[in-house]
Chain A
């Protein structure tokens, strides 16, 4: 790819474990639950602060021209391919081409329905799109991890990214489930609470699976274990990870729809549309890098096993009650 670093750092892989791996056993696992992030001060957390995570995300992506160019090329190629397939839609939806799952799954579902309607061909399209997206996202994750760790992007990043393809594919499938759960909530609970439920399903999906590709790349574990560790990392206290996921959701859906010009159906988006679309897709890589950075920093503290919930103090039975 590009960018030669003067000082090559040891790459993190199962064959060549990260220098931080020994720390894992030295730290006591902590678990405080889904919403405990806001209860614990940032200084006590294994996860970096939001500002630091996003700042590193920007730094990682912007200092690697290859990542920016890849984002631009992928988005343009996607549009041309879709138009060649007969897609007719608003170019505004391109803003989420390289989004993280499950938001990217919305892009795939919407594109498939628009192109083919609901039917067998739609399911085939969804299967093909999930595979392609898993491949592309995993490779991008590999490049980002290499960029974070080694300060460069190269073929090596592509190769380590391929490790995450099965995990990313599982994330894609889980995302489809999250979306259907969200839609079911919308149908069952109505437009008010149901809408919140559908949003919660999406944010929740991102919350639990956001670290999975990086975990798979860094630790080379299987699909299930990578997903589990992603969930455990998300539950680490004090990281305000839920806030980051909600922020990403707002940036990816409402803000992208609001800001991106091109709500009209056309095959020839305007220059302004393309600029905004490209910028948003680079922003997706920034968030992806922020998630990867968070995982890499917190990796030593991610427990190998589920942390049991602390049992609430029970009143001692008969004997305790007998003391008066």
Chain B
């Protein structure tokens, strides 16, 4: 475990308030935009990724949607869908970027390791011709010795796409970037959590899940059992000075959920909600509660202060690490991998309603006003009334999943997977129509009873009528049973014989 407190001056930064600045909209992953667009919707534009590439979930700031691809970071104009700019990227796992707004709006994303054909990662970003003011960064690089085996956190100035700084993490990272106040948080495959100053890229602290404590000299480590072999590949949540970290040991089939002090990295608590599986959702944290969904199909509300389980609510399937609960005030919406969307009360975990889509869900629900939105693996975008839990609108976008959603006051930007991977933006359609469809798991008594009755008549008639014929032909009883001693010999049933067998 290494801890570095940056002595360098920090440029004042703040997280992207008012924008969909990172995974699930903010550092706490609440996934809510009160003034988001309402259904019905229509497609505003489609932005296709380069061939054989997919894009990350988008973040939205200053009328552009920013997404990370294999070989570039793309900014798409929110109104027109035109490419605003792109910045080359050296490859590596695709994860959601983050935006810090303030006196200088900064885009942070992860890149590398890019393999043999990767461009030198120590170089500054080289914007393409589409960048209006491309120029190498003049800022000193805080980390010059970039490790080719690890990922790098890159900070770009949104205004001119110049690189402000880059930090080598030393291991591959898939967690995406979380920004809270003036700090960025990323996790890596070695189980290290990095807290990095937004102003200059200095590492403030690191914490290793494999160790029982979060930071050098930390106290209170007795409550943090070491988690060996875990990777931090799920977006980190930050709320109330707690960095909520989910560690997954895929080979060992284990997960850990823990909280670190966001300011010092000191471990506050760590719990192990399940054994035997590494499936777990990303966390959402608000109102003093951390919510995660695990492989034992329980959604758990953990006290943010000490990790104690406040409540649990049973779902029908396990949860994807690509999905996080949405957490508007007093309510949690969570989607399981098998196609169930659930609304539970944030105070006691009581289920308010559920909707079953019977389709794999890899994305997270988001809340736009009083509508819950969700992308499905068959390409549908679905909208449900938050109060009733009924489907009010849905539309397909063709083959390929619809994953992470990002909200802006006038648009929804969805990550599209599959052959036509890219981004799709939706907007309100004043001419569209709403529907009111309850979940298929709600019993429609008249329909079901009539089906049962009809099926019963068909089956009974189909079986009993031949039975009557058989009864007439063979009789009601099985005559060979009386004094049965020829069992196993050639059958006489086919001949319809009714003679009694000989008694011994």
Give residues in A with beta carbon < 8 Å to B: 3, 5-7, 9, 19-20, 22-23, 26, 42-49, 51-52, 55-56, 59-65, 68-69, 72-73, 76, 80, 83, 88-89, 114, 116-118, 148-152, 238-239, 264-271, 274-275, 277-279, 282, 293, 296-298, 300
Contacts and interface: CB of A to CB of B under 8 A. Distances in A.
Name the prevailing secondary structure of the A interface residues: helix
B482 A19 contact: yes
Contacts of A47: 487-488
B460 A298 contact: no
A293 B448 contact: no
Contacts of B444: 267-268
Contacts of A46: 487-488
B483 A20 contact: yes
A62 B467 contact: yes
Contacts of B475: 151
A241 B121 CA distance: 69
**Of B314, B454, B494, most A-chain CB atoms within 10 Å:** B314
B226 interface: no
Interface string B295-325: 0111000000000000000101000000000
Given A51-B491, A297-B481, A278 B456 contact: yes
**Leading 3 A-B pairs by shortest Cβ distance:** A151-B476, A62-B467, A274-B455
Interface string B423-439: 00000000000000000
B138 interface: no
**Of B298, B339, B491, B503, most A-chain CB atoms within 10 Å:** B491
B10 interface: no
A210 B467 CA distance: 25
Contacts of B443: 83, 267-268
B487 A45 contact: yes
A68 B489 CA distance: 30
Contacts of A6: 476
Contacts of B448: 80, 267-269
Given A46-B487, A63-B476, A9 B440 contact: no
B105 to A, nearest CB: 45
Given A62-B470, A151-B477, A279-B459, 9 more contacts: A20-B484, A47-B488, A55-B491, A72-B459, A88-B441, A151-B476, A264-B440, A277-B455, A293-B478
B387 interface: no
A266 B470 CA distance: 38
Interface of B: 296-298, 314, 316, 338-340, 354, 356, 358, 440-444, 447-448, 451-452, 454-456, 458-460, 463-464, 466-468, 470-471, 474-478, 480-485, 487-491, 493-494, 503-504
A295 B468 CA distance: 25
B487 A298 contact: yes
A43 B489 contact: yes
Given A59-B470, A297-B484, A152 B476 contact: yes
A9 B455 contact: no
A267 B358 CA distance: 12
A88 B339 CA distance: 12
Nearest to A48: B487
A300 B485 contact: yes
Given A3-B476, A26-B504, A265 B452 contact: no
A72 B75 CA distance: 61
Nearest to A73: B456
A46 B460 CA distance: 34
28 contacts: A19-B482, A23-B504, A42-B488, A44-B488, A47-B488, A51-B491, A55-B491, A56-B478, A59-B478, A65-B467, A68-B459, A68-B463, A68-B464, A83-B443, A116-B314, A117-B296, A117-B298, A148-B478, A151-B477, A265-B339, A265-B358, A266-B440, A267-B441, A268-B451, A269-B451, A271-B454, A275-B455, A282-B463
Contact of A65 (B339, B455, B464, B503): B464
A265 B488 contact: no
Contacts of B354: 88
B491 A52 contact: yes
A9 to B, nearest CB: 6
A261 to B, nearest CB: 12
A120 to B, nearest CB: 13
A271 B451 CA distance: 5
A48 B488 contact: yes
Contacts of B504: 22-23, 26
Contact of A9 (B338, B441, B477): B477
B441 A265 contact: yes
B455 A266 contact: no
B481 A149 contact: yes
A89 B358 CA distance: 10
A60 B476 CA distance: 8
B460 A65 contact: yes
**Of B354, B455, B482, most A-chain CB atoms within 10 Å:** B455
B447 A268 contact: yes
Contacts of A279: 459, 463
Given A62-B464, A117-B296, A151 B314 contact: no
Contacts of B447: 268
Nearest to A76: B452
A114 to B, nearest CB: 7
Contacts of A43: 488-490
A130 B282 CA distance: 38
Given A88-B316, A268-B444, A45 B488 contact: yes
Contacts of B480: 297
Nearest to B298: A117
Given A59-B478, A88-B356, A275-B458, A267 B440 contact: yes
Contacts of B470: 59, 62-63
A298 B480 CA distance: 12
Nearest to A18: B481
B316 A114 contact: yes
A265 B455 contact: no
Contacts of A7: 477
